[in-house]
């Protein structure tokens, strides 16, 4: 899993790091940024060792990486001297989110809980196929019983990067709600265990250009439609009904992904062919 282009490997010199470490007196460092005595300063900034470096790669050598860590003294918010804001968009970019701000480096506090969910930001300058993979990890992340998952909210799948990389397709653009970093899967992460609402309860039909969505007796809150490549086609956050009709979509015949969230907070995703 080791990759020599890691943004924070153990080598002594880092040329071309494009992130800002949040400090109480804000400073902007011109690129390329060179840090020449990392070993000497390691105890000040990186003495905790619960970290995972995640890569995303694409065609023609496109590469981006983000670091997620957990340590004493960190919080879920912005931590001065620890978190590093992302600031260099290349052909592709991967970062974690604190609110709406992208971070190349993010630390959270201890004790760690496997129910934690970290929103990720992914952007691409061209349509194509991309792959998430673990570069390397340390601390409790090396525990074989702890999974490290990419949750793709478009396909509603959880992919354990400790087992294999996750390959997906995407159109050009920035996606701040498609991917999440999680440590558990599905209903375990959501805490909904025994609820029986699932994709089989979601009935889809088409009348001319109109899409009819029926969830039986379950009230829906949100509906989102995506193309198979992850492009947002439609979104409505104020349904409050068990049946709704989506009209005025200009679509060619294609498979689409329909994601609904119930008033009870359950999210279900279903792939469907629009004719």
Read out DSSP for 68-86? EEE-TT--SS--TTT-EEE
Residue 198: per-residue pLDDT: 78
Range 199-274 classified under CATH 2.60.40.3080 = yes
> Which residue is associated with the tokens 């494009």?
18
Pairing of β 157-160 and β 63-70: unpaired
Angle of CA points 77, 78, 83, to nearest 5° = 125
- Span of 22-36, 48-62, 108-122 with lowest mean pLDDT: 22-36
* CA atoms lying within 13 Å on the CB side of residue 253: 2
Rounded Cα–Cα distance for residues 39 and 262 (Å): 50
Query: Would you place residue 269 in the very low, low, confident or very high pLDDT band (cuts 50, 70, 90)?
Result: confident
Query: Would you place residue 6 in the very low, low, confident or very high pLDDT band (cuts 50, 70, 90)?
Result: low
Residue 196: per-residue pLDDT: 64
Give the ranges where the chain is alpha helix by DSSP (H). Answer: 38-45, 186-190
What are the structural domain ranges in the chain?
19-190, 199-274
**Dihedral (C-alpha) 78, 83, 87, 89: value to the nearest 10 degrees?**
-110
Residue 191: per-residue pLDDT: 43
Output the six-digit token pair for 252: 């060619």
From 19, 37, 38, 44, select the one nearest 29 (Cα to Cα): 19
* 3-state class (DSSP) for residue 47: coil
Sorted by sequence, the CB contacts under 8 Å of residue 264 that are 6+ apart come out as: 192, 195, 197, 218
pTM beyond cutoff 0.85: no
DSSP 151: E
Output the six-digit token pair for 80: 């001065």
Q: Per-residue pLDDT for 79 more than 60?
A: yes
What pLDDT digit, counting tens, does each position of 196-239 carry? Answer: 677 888 899 999 889 999 988 888 889 999 988 888 899 998 89
Beta strands in 142-246 (DSSP E): 149-152, 157-160, 166-170, 173-182, 203-207, 210-214, 220-227, 232-236, 243-246
Rounded Cα–Cα distance for residues 96 and 104 (Å): 7
How many CB atoms lie under 10 A from the CB of residue 261?
16
Contact 167, 128 (CB under 8 A): no
Contact 53, 106 (CB under 8 A): no
Query: Would you place residue 56 in the very low, low, confident or very high pLDDT band (cuts 50, 70, 90)?
Result: very high
């Amino acid at each position: 899993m080791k990759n020599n282009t890691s943004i924070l490997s153990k080598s002594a010199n880092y040329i071309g790091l494009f992130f800002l470490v949040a400090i109480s007196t804000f400073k902007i460092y011109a690129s390329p940024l060179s840090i020449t005595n990392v070993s000497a300063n390691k105890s000040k900034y990186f003495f905790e060792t619960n970290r995972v470096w995640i890569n995303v790669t694409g065609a023609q050598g496109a590469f981006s990486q983000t670091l997620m860590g957990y340590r004493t003294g960190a919080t879920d918010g912005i931590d001065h001297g620890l978190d590093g804001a992302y600031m260099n968009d290349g052909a592709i970019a991967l970062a974690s989110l604190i609110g709406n701000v992208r971070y190349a480096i993010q630390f959270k506090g201890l004790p760690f809980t496997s129910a934690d969910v970290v929103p990720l930001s992914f952007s691409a300058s061209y349509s194509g196929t991309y792959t998430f993979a673990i570069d390397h990890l340390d601390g409790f992340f090396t525990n074989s019983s702890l999974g490290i998952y990419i949750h793709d909210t478009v396909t509603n799948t959880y992919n354990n990067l400790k087992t294999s990389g996750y390959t997906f397709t995407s159109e050009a653009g920035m996606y701040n709600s498609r991917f999440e970093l999680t440590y558990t899967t599905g209903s375990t992460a959501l805490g909904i265990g025994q609820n029986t609402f699932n994709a089989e309860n979601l009935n889809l039909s088409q009348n001319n250009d109109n899409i009819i969505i029926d969830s039986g007796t379950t009230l829906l809150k949100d509906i989102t439609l995506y193309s198979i490549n992850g492009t947002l086609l439609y979104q409505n956050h104020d349904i409050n009904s068990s049946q709704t009709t989506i009209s005025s979509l200009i679509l060619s015949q294609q498979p689409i992904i329909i994601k609904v969230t119930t008033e009870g907070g359950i999210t279900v995703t279903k792939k469907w062919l629009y004719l």
